[in-house]
């Protein structure tokens, strides 16, 4: 049960951190979602150099970044980006850096295996 110092939690128990937002999206949409993340020091040049030591976010259908944390909590972007849309390329680079620097935090479940 949250108290005045703990903040709210999602039904899955994740607190109000970027990871919790991403895992909640994965829980709602299932195997369409993988959760990725990075440490700022491993992905230099992103806004996370000044905001936090890293960031986690959801990717739907291996195409759409869905990140309510970045838009709602940090007021840094629109929160949804298309990895295949050239108009989103610069903003994706600013917020998320190079995809090669992302680590899988929670992969999409495989058929017959429960998710996280």
Q: Which H or E run contains 114?
A: none
Tell me the C-alpha distance between 7 and 58, whole Å. 22
Residue 12 lies in a domain: no
Domain that includes residue 83, residue range: 37-106
Answer whether residue 97 is part of any domain.
yes
In a domain, 112, yes or no: no
Q: First CA to last CA across the chain, in angstroms?
A: 22
Task: Give the chain's domain count.
Answer: 1
Look at residue 31 and tell me if it is in a domain. Answer: no
Q: Which string of DSSP letters, residue by residue, matches the chain? A: ---TTT--B-TTS-BSSHHHHHHHHHHHHGGGEEEEEEEGGGSTTSTHHHH-SEEEEEEETTTEEE-HIIIIIS--S-SEEETT-GGGHHHHHHHH--GGG-EEEEPPPPTTS---
Residue 96 is assigned to a structural domain of this protein: yes
The predicted pLDDT at position 70 comes to 82
The pLDDT, as a whole number, for residue 103 is 93
User: Is 25 inside a domain boundary?
Assistant: no
73 is a domain residue? yes
What is the reported pLDDT for 77? 81
The pLDDT tens digits for 52-95 are 888 999 999 999 999 988 877 776 788 899 999 999 999 999 99
Query: Which pTM value belongs to this model?
Result: 0.79
């Amino acid at each position: 049960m949250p108290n005045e110092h703990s903040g709210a939690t999602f039904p899955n128990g994740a607190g109000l951190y970027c990871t919790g937002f991403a895992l909640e999206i994965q829980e709602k949409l299932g195997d369409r979602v993988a959760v990725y993340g990075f440490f700022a020091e491993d992905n230099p040049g992103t806004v996370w150099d000044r905001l936090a030591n890293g960031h986690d976010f959801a990717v739907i259908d291996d195409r759409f970044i869905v990140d309510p944390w970045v838009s709602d909590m940090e007021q840094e972007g629109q929160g949804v980006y298309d990895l295949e849309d050239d108009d989103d390329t610069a903003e994706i680079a600013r917020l998320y850096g190079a995809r090669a620097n992302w680590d899988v935090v929670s992969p999409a479940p495989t058929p017959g295996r429960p998710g996280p």
